[in-house]
Structure 1
Amino acid sequence: MSANLYGKLETDVEIKASAKKFHGMIKHKPHHISNVASHKIQGCDLHEGEWGTVGSIINWNYFHDGKPRVAKERVEAIDDEKNSITFRVLEGDLREHFKSFVITLQANPKAGGEGSIVHWTLEYEKLHVHR
């Protein structure tokens, strides 16, 4: 019996900000996210590199299942035309369960209205199979 260690989850989240504004904040000022989502994100700081550049490393403090968590992530890719950014988790709580964990956020203008839809893609490889 073979178990699947690889997975991909996708979801859409509707937000009030425009796609460009959201992308700009995630790219250049991710530390401002805690101002609008303090129940999920406590904050983040730049560990290495410069805000808005591929290769930069960001330390995140966030909540999951009601508990404070941490993650150190490298910016893997930025596409300003598609309003997308990709992060790879290097260290932190997620690495206790996952060999690799990559998060891509792509903001798309909402059809026929204000705001946008942020498409989240989580791609991962588990460390162990849970039966």
Structure 2
Amino acid sequence: MGLRRVEAEIDLKSPPQKLYNIWKKTPHRVPHMTPKNIQANEHHDGPWDDHGHGSHKTWNYTLQGKAEVFKERIELDDANLKARHVGLDGDVFKIYKSYAITFQYSPKGTGSLGKITIEYEKLSDDVPDAINYLNFLVECNRDSDEHLVAKA
């Protein structure tokens, strides 16, 4: 079936470095930023003090009214303000063979342009594309941005 990709670009009010630092330094705060979507984040291994490159986390979230879990390994690219979340286990693997999320932030005006990409491979042809997950991640990024703006 091959690797597929869905993408979205969103205008955000916060500076790109602040948005990127959510994933690099403070992912444990994400449930406070978007509580209706993400309920918990547990750090398993890898660098603890900055939750950095190679660390493993489990996310508990609610997608379309259903509780789900996602275990990931994060890959950070500081030069390009890019955080790639490679799926290791969880509910997405009931329908996808592989699954990875990339958030990348770049300057735009006084804020940022956020690019969200999901790369995945379906387990079968009748599995839906990852649009519902993409819409979920867009909402999480908007919520996180609003939280940062309110704290500024």
- TM-score when scaled to structure 1? 0.86
One of 3, 12, 15 as aligned partner of 1:15: 12
Match of 1:108 in 2: 106
The Cα shift of 1:42 comes to 1.4
- Looking at structure 1, the residues matched to 23 and 6 of structure 2 have their Cα atoms a distance apart, in angstroms, of 20
Hey, which of these two has a bigger chunk of strand by percent?
A: 1
Unaligned runs of 5+ in 2: 128-152
Unaligned regions of 5+ residues in structure 1, if any?
A: none
Whole-angstrom distance in 1 between the partners of 2:38 and 2:107: 23
Return the structure number with greater helix share: 2
- TM value normalised by structure 2: 0.75
SS of the counterpart of 2:60? strand
Residues 69-88 of structure 1 mapped to structure 2, 5 A cutoff: 69-75=68-74, 77-88=75-86
Cα contact 2:69–2:91 (8 A) shared by 1:
yes
Change (3 A) 1:10 1:29: same
Stretches of 4+ aligned residues off by more than 4 angstroms: none
CA distance in 1, matches of 2:38, 2:105: 18
CA gap of 1:106–1:71, structure 2 versus 1, over 3 A, is same
Q: Cα distance 1:14–1:66, how it changes in 2: closer, same or farther (>3 A)?
A: farther
Q: Deviations over 1:88-118 (max 9, x none)?
A: 11111101001100111001122x22x2221
Q: CA RMSD in A?
A: 1.6
Matched, 1:128 2:127: no
